[in-house]
Structure 1
Amino acid sequence: MKTERTALLIAAVTAFFISGAANAADVRVTPEDGAEALIEALILAEEGDTIALGVGRFELDDGLSLDADGVVLRGAGADATILSFKGQAGGGEGLLVTSDRVVLEDFAVEDTKGDGIKAKGSDEITFRDLRVEWTNGPDPENGAYGIYPVSSRNVLVEGVTVRGASDAGIYVGQSQNIIVRGSRAEFNVAGIEIENSFRADVYGNVATRNTGGILIFDLPNLPQQGGHDIRVFDNDVFDNDTANFAPEGNIVGIVPRGMGIMVMANRNVHVFGNRLAGNATTHVLVAAYPNAYEDEDYMFVPRGVYIHSNAYGEGGGDPTGEVGELIAGLTGKPVPDIVWDGVTRIPEWLSWTARENRIFIDEAADTTFANLRMITQLVLPFDVSPYRNISTHRGALDEPAPVVLPQDERS
């Protein structure tokens, strides 16, 4: 009897997996099939499906969406399979994903009316070997974001190239457990931006020819606040020299041309092992949120920032914009390699600050540094000169654990 029950159980399990495999499908769509075939494939997609996109250019006049879990959307290469939205009349983005365990890889998205590829509320979302580009170059009329996961978990961005975004090329916002690696961002306002997010590793990337290379921000009046545990390491951040072309009113409009890495109002951020050169305003800026706000839960100052073991080339020779000119007015030219605005909360600036909330810098002796000694966004009237202080605090802050993603472990 026991043997019979075991045999029945094995048969039932086998039937279940055969049925699941039968439901999964490999669907192939080519540009010759037309835009409607691609739209239909995404609408009818079911869990486990792979949608293979053929070589060529898909001409699309409306946004695409995918809401099925466990789907792979794969092209023949970022320069071989192109989703062109040059004639897009509707939709807020080129492709919107609202499902879990989705892999997007090996295709390009060009000239979307709004954002390039957006994922909202997704868990285990992978962007791999993609290209998102506005082919007319930097323009305030371009979409805000290239790769744009928001309110998501377990986000992997790798091997991606983004050009021309009027806000951020690669942007991860209000999300948790993030890896951005091996990607390239150029000719955007912000190359790579991690905003209001928890636990992120940003490494092995190239950020060049943007207004600012890599931004780690925390902003008020958003559902998820208190960004923390961010590691920015082993990146090449150089020659960020594109004039700021953000539409009026965008917070990235404050970023001066020539910013390398900027940390604003975030907590436990570690910046190390990066190579920075040719950034005309400054290589690294640590700053408080500069605008007025009405949000009782928001903390506007950075806490627990550790900058160490980076390599600095020439930079700071041509600061621009309101922020750049303010810094240069206090430090002179060239602007130091690392600048901290020194903003702290009143009355905290009069008292002792806990170790985990301090700003630590441990760089080579020839690295230049300025503390502007500002409070509540105002320069102290009795001391506008920078305070030079390169400290040695190896191990000053506990480094966040490496981010581990489920999709990474399975691959």
Structure 2
Amino acid sequence: MRKLIVPIVTLALLAGAYQLGTRQRAEPVVIKVPSTPAAQFNSAGSESVGAVAQDAVRRLATPTSGEVILVRDGESIQDAVNRAAPGAVIKVMPGTYRETVYIDKDNITLSGVIEQGNYPVLEGDGVRNDAILYSGNGTTIENFHITHYKGNGVMGQAGNNFIIRNNIVVDTGVYGIFPQLGQNGIVSHNVLSGIEDAAIYIGMSDNVDVVYNRVFESVAGIEIENSRSALVEANYVYNNTGGILAFVTPGLPIKTCGDVLIRNNFVIDNNHENFAVPGSIVANVPAGTGMLVMACDDVVIEGNIVTGNNSAGIIFTDFTLATNIPNDPGSEPNPNRPKLLDNLMRDNGLDPAPVVRAYLATQLESRGPDIVDTVGMDDGCILHPARYRTIGLEKYGECAFDTTAKVATYTLPQPVPPRGLENVDIGKLTYYGICAGCHAYSVRLIGPPTQIIQALYMDNPQGIAAYARQPVKKREDYPEMPPQQHLDGETLLAAARYMLSLKN
């Protein structure tokens, strides 16, 4: 006979409904619902996509012309790109390809063919810098296994309307997937691990969706840097040093970060040791950080499962976290208007990293919180604050909305034209689109700061241009620079002159 087990809480409630053996009717619990619904979610980025919220989600596609070029094992992918006209689809069969691929044409689809689980493999052998560099607009890169490069797996250089999906990226040095200065793009369904900076790095870009990726065993899982209107949704981010980051790096040409929606992600057990290059920005990220928002404005965090991150679930902070960040008057340091909606948070802060432990000591705490605001912003909001262990959120109000469901995507319904900067010359555009991804003015990124390059070359732009075309490794503490041979001499010289003219 099965034994009926009644929870003690249930027995207590039943006991309250009976008095001296006489049945009494329990008083109903009345929950008052506001008579008017909360205001709809609205932000700078959602205004541009709100009008198309009922349209198909993520309609972005690379236009094709009907031309198909087949690349077989033993042949060159770069040769196929060189032969291709805009709109071509380049199909790459399974095999191992030891090369760097440059795409400087518009509307090129580079598509791997997967047969019985076998991918085309781009193999860096630990000596090549980058697997794929694209500067064309309307580039799709899909279905590749990219590994053992020293610099980047996939790097975009001012290309718009990009799609990077269904790739496996393992041990590619500094960055795994790195679109820079691009607008209107999708990074989806990729698997990345073993990256010493950021596995997925959205740099100085606009209107980008980062969705359905699996990211693990890297320093930073997903990083939104100096970018605007980014959606980070439905990613599985685990066993990184920091799971999801949104921040401003001072010293870059674009000074702001804002309107980032971090929604419905699994951010689990991000406790990996920090193995970033010493002196880099992400070397400051404490192990055990679920999410880190540094100086990025209008970040909305909704519907995430954030558990098992040993330092803290979510950290809002200013530039004081990073001791090696230079002063940049153009970069405002505070994480303005943070918004925290419903999230599930559990078992965070059980073993804080030393830098977090030191901060907690100033708050008379020893366990890390679910959510901490080290600045103490007074313009933030949070729903149901009693659900979380928090520090520094005393001035937060209640959010005027409870969901962002109306915003399905931050990509735009129509392709945008090639990215240009009004009233600028080719040197400035090249610097923004290519050089600034590795060289900030006074802070270390991948390569030496621009200030150091200015000191070395002074009035010698020809020397910079010649080195960029055929670089050699000079410094043990920096990775070798990839050759910029896809740029003509005039463009390289113009970029070098602009680099030497910079003041901040």
After TM superposition, the score normalised by the length of structure 1 is 0.79
For residue 90 of structure 2, what is the amino acid of its counterpart?
I
Q: Following TM superposition, by how much is the alpha carbon of 1:43 offset from its aligned partner in structure 2, in angstroms? A: 2.1
User: Offset at 1:192?
Assistant: 0.2
* Corresponding residue to 2:148 among 70, 88, 111: 111
Equivalent pairs: percent with the same residue?
Answer: 28
Candidates 390, 409, 412, aligned match of 1:405:
412
Q: Is the 8 A contact 1:189 1:246 kept in 2?
A: yes
C-alpha separation in 1, matches of 2:308 and 2:383: 21
Q: What are the Cα deviations for residues 138-195 of structure 1, in whole angstroms up to 9, with x where unaligned?
A: xxxx611100000111110010111011000001010011100011110010000000
Cα 1:399/1:234, change in 2 over 3 Å: closer
Equivalent position of 1:316 in the other structure: 349
Residue 335 of structure 1 and its aligned partner are, at CA, apart by 1.2
Q: Tell me the distance in 2 between the aligned counterparts of 1:396 and 1:48.
A: 43
The amino acid across from 2:384 in the alignment is E
Q: 1:129 aligns with which of 149, 166, 186?
A: 166
Aligned to 2:286: 256
- Return closer, same or farther for 1:329/1:293 CA change in 2, 3 Å cut-off: same
Aligned partner (choices 184, 188, 197) of residue 167 of structure 1? 197
CA-to-aligned-CA distance 1:9-40 (integer Å, 9 cap, x gap): xxxxxxxxxxx99x752111122x33xx2221
- The answer to which structure has the higher strand fraction is 1
Q: How far does the alpha carbon of each residue in 1:263-290 deviate from its partner, in whole angstroms, 9 at most, with x for none?
A: 1101111011100111000000000012
Go from structure 1 to structure 2 and tell me whether the alpha carbon gap of 1:388 and 1:317 turns closer, same or farther (over 3 Å shift): farther
Once residues 170 and 330 of structure 2 are traced to their aligned partners in structure 1, the CA distance between those partners, rounded to angstroms, is 37
Q: Is the 8 A contact 1:63 1:88 kept in 2?
A: no
CA offset at residue 226 of structure 1? 1.4
What corresponds to 1:56 in structure 2? Answer: 95
For the 8 Å contact 1:177–1:198, the answer to whether it is kept is: yes
Q: Deviations over 1:296-351 (max 9, x none)?
A: 2110111010012000111101111424542355352321110000267xxxxxxx
Amino acid paired to 1:130 = N
Match of 2:375 among 342, 360, 376: 342
SS of aligned partner of 2:355: helix
Q: For 1:231 and 1:273, how far apart are their aligned partners in 2?
A: 11
Residue number in structure 2 paired with 1:393: 399
Q: Secondary structure at the match of 1:185?
A: strand
Give the stretch that moved more between structures: 390-399 or 246-255. 390-399
Q: Encode CA deviations 1:339-395: one digit per residue, 9 max, x unaligned.
A: 000267xxxxxxxx6xxxx12222352311001xxxxxxxxxxxxxxx757753343
Is 1:28 aligned to 2:66, yes or no?
no
Task: Name 2:331's counterpart in structure 1.
Answer: 298
Q: One-letter code of the match for 2:139?
A: V
Q: Is the 8 A contact 2:339 2:399 kept in 1?
A: no
State the partner residue of 2:257: 227
Give the secondary structure class of the aligned counterpart of 1:318.
coil
Over 3 Å counting, the alpha-carbon distance change for 1:397 and 1:48 in structure 2 is closer
Structure 2 equivalent of residue 375 of structure 1:
none
- Residue identity matched to 1:256: P
What corresponds to 2:131 in structure 1?
Answer: 94
- Residues 380 and 397 of structure 2 are in contact (CA less than 8 Å); yes or no, is this contact kept in structure 1? no
| Distance in structure 2 (CA, Å) of the matches to 1:63 and 1:328 | 49
The residue aligned with 2:386 is 365
Q: Please name the residue that 1:382 is paired with.
A: none
Say what the alpha-carbon RMSD is for the aligned residues.
2.6
Range that drifts further, 329-338 or 49-58: 329-338
Distance in 1, matches of 2:80 and 2:192, equals 26
CA distance in 2, matches of 1:388, 1:153: 37
Flag structure 1 segments of 5+ consecutive residues without an equivalent: 1-19, 135-141, 345-352, 372-386
User: Per the alignment, do residues 100 and 298 of structure 1 end up closer, same or farther by CA in structure 2, a change over 3 Å counting?
Assistant: same
Query: Which sits farther off after the overlay, 295-304 or 360-369?
Result: 360-369
Gaps of 5+ in 2: 1-62, 417-504
1:70 to 107, 113, 118: 107
> Which shows bigger deviation, 217-226 or 330-339?
330-339
In the aligned structure 1, how far is the partner of 2:218 from the partner of 2:233? Answer: 18
Matched, 1:180 2:193: no
User: Is 1:85 the counterpart of 2:123 in the alignment?
Assistant: yes
- Aligned to 1:268, which of 298, 301, 316? 298
- In 2, distance between residues paired with 1:392 and 1:84? 50
CA positional deviation for 1:407: 6.9
How many residue pairs get aligned? The number is: 349
Aligned to 1:4: none
Which residue matches 1:17?
Answer: none
**Once structures 1 and 2 are overlaid, which stretch shifts more, 122-131 or 40-49?**
40-49
Give me the whole-angstrom Cα distance separating, in 1, the residues matched to 2:165 and 2:412: 14
Aligned to 2:485: none
1:233, CA displacement in angstroms?
0.5
* Separation (CA, whole Å) in 2 of partners of 1:179 and 1:57: 30
TM-score normalised over the length of structure 2: 0.65
d(CA) in 1 for partners of 2:234 and 2:404? Answer: 22
Q: Distance in 2 between matches of 1:176 and 1:101?
A: 15
What whole-Å deviation, never above 9, does each CA across 1:32-61 have from its counterpart, x for those lacking one? x33xx2221122221111111112332x1x
How far the C-alpha of 1:74 sits from its partner, in A, is 0.7
Q: Kindly tell me: are residues 186 and 220 of structure 1, through their superposed partners in 2, closer, same or farther at Cα, counting changes over 3 Å?
A: same
Write the letter of the residue equivalent to 2:401.
Answer: G
Whose relative contact order is higher, 1 or 2, with alpha carbons under 8 Å and at least 6 apart? 2
Counterpart CA distance in 2 for 1:315 and 1:156 is: 30
Q: 1:24 to 1:393 in 2, by over 3 A?
A: closer
Q: Contact 1:254 / 1:322 at 8 angstroms: preserved in 2?
A: no
The alpha-carbon deviation at position 404 of structure 1 amounts to 3.0
Partner of 1:153: 183
